[in-house]
Chains A and B, each alone.
Chain A
Amino acid sequence: MTVSVTSDAVHASRRRLVVDGLGIIVGASGFGFVYGLAARGAGFSPVEASAMSVIVFAGAAQFAAVGYVLGGFSWLGVVLLTAFLNARHLLYSASLAPYLTGRPRPVRAIMAHLLTDEAFALTIAHWRRIGRADPWGYWWAAIVTTFIPWNLATILGVTVGGSIPDPTQYGLDVIFPAAMAGLAVGLVTGRRELVAALAGAIVGVGVGLAWDPAAGLLIGGLLGPLVGMVVPGEAAGHPGDADGADR
Chain B
Amino acid sequence: MSTELVWLAVLMGAATYPSRALPLLARTSDADPA
Contact = CB atoms under 8 A, between A and B. Distances in A.
Interface of A: 43-48, 51-52, 54-58, 61, 65, 69, 75, 78-80, 82-83, 86-90, 92-94, 96-98, 100-103, 105, 108-109, 111-113, 115, 242-247
A75 B8 contact: yes
21 contacts: A45-B2, A45-B3, A47-B6, A48-B3, A48-B9, A51-B6, A51-B10, A55-B13, A58-B16, A61-B16, A65-B8, A86-B15, A86-B16, A88-B19, A90-B19, A93-B20, A93-B23, A94-B23, A96-B24, A108-B21, A112-B25
A242 B2 CA distance: 46
B1 to A, nearest CB: 5
Nearest to A49: B5
B21 A109 contact: yes
Nearest to B33: A245
Interface of B: 1-6, 8-13, 15-17, 19-29, 31-34
A247 B6 contact: no
Contacts of B20: 86, 89-90, 92-93, 112-113, 115
A237 to B, nearest CB: 13
User: Taking chain B's interface residues, is the majority helix, strand, or loop, or is none over half, making it mixed?
Assistant: helix
B15 A90 contact: no
A92 B20 CA distance: 8
B13 A109 contact: no
A48 B19 CA distance: 23
A46 B1 contact: yes
A69 B5 contact: yes
A113 B17 contact: yes
Contact of B19 (A52, A65, A93): A93
Main secondary structure of the interface of A (DSSP, over half): helix
A47 B1 contact: yes
B34 to A, nearest CB: 6
Nearest to A95: B23
Given A51-B6, A109-B21, A246-B32, 13 more contacts: A44-B2, A44-B5, A47-B1, A48-B5, A69-B8, A80-B15, A82-B15, A86-B15, A89-B19, A93-B24, A101-B33, A109-B25, A243-B33
Given A46-B1, A52-B9, A55-B13, A101 B32 contact: yes
A108 to B, nearest CB: 5
